[in-house]
Amino acid sequence: LRAGLPPSLVEQVEVSFEQPKRENAGKWGPRPTINLFLYDVRENRDLRSNEWIVERQGDGTATKRRPPVRVECSYLVTAWASDASITPALDEHRLLGEVMMVLLRHATIPLGLLQGSLKGQEPPLPAITLQPGRLQSMGEFWQALGGKPKAALNYTVTIGVEVHAPVAVEVVTDKMLKFRVEQEVVQ
C-alpha cells in the first residue's frame, strides 16, 4: 500500500491492522493512519479445483500436489486523521481517496510486493475494491465496535492456502502397447 502512495504521503502516514476504534488511535502515534481491518475470511468455492498440479523435475521424477484452497480475505479500510488535525473529516477523506486510487490501480496484487507464503503464488492474487462487503449492516458493525460510523472502503483479496503436502512420483517415459491378434480359422 505504501509503495503506491504519493511520495509526499509515504513517510507521513502509519498503517495499522487493529480494530478501527478511536481508542486504538493512540497506539498508531501522532501521524494520520490507514487502517486495514480483516473482518471476514472464507473459502471461495467458485475457484475450487480437484485437478492435480504436476511439476516435472530434471532428475526424471515429478511432484504432484492438490491445488491450493482459495480463500477470500475481506478488509475494511478506514483513514484516521492525526490528533493535531484542524479538519479531521476532510483529512480522512483525502487520505481514503489516495488509498482508493492505489487499490483501484491493481486488479491483482503486484508480484514484487508479495512476501512469505504469498510469494510466487499462481495464479496472481485477485483483488476486489469498492464492492459490497460481507457485512450485513455497517451500522451494526460500528455499534459492535463501540464507535461512530466512519467512511470506509471494502477490499477483498483471494489467496491460495496450501493444505496438502506434495507427493513425489516417477515420470512415465515409456509407452507400452500390447496387441492380441486373433486369427480366424477357415474350414
Supply the pLDDT for residue 14. 86
- Neighbouring CB atoms inside 10 A of 38's CB total 10
Query: Would strands 69-80 and 33-43 be described as parallel, antiparallel, or unpaired?
Result: antiparallel
23 Cβ partners below 8 Å, 6+ apart? none
Gap between the Cα atoms of 81 and 16, Å rounded: 13
In a domain, 31, yes or no: yes
Supply the pLDDT for residue 22. 74
What are the residue ranges in the chain where pLDDT is below 70?
A: 1-2, 25-26, 28, 187
In a domain, 187, yes or no: no
Gap between the Cα atoms of 83 and 100, Å rounded: 23
- As a residue count, the chain comes to 187
In a domain, 181, yes or no: no
In a domain, 38, yes or no: yes
Q: Are 127 and 155 spatial neighbours (Cβ–Cβ below 8 Å)? A: yes
State the total domains in the chain.
1
Gap between the Cα atoms of 155 and 74, Å rounded: 6
Domain that holds residue 111: 2-169
Burial category of 73 from C-beta neighbours within 10 Å (exposed 0-12, middle 13-18, buried 19 and up): middle
In a domain, 86, yes or no: yes
In a domain, 184, yes or no: no
Supply the pLDDT for residue 1. 67
C-alpha cell at 177: 502397447
**29-59 pLDDT, tens per residue?**
778 899 999 999 999 998 888 888 888 888 8
Burial category of 177 from C-beta neighbours within 10 Å (exposed 0-12, middle 13-18, buried 19 and up): exposed
C-alpha cell at 88: 479531521
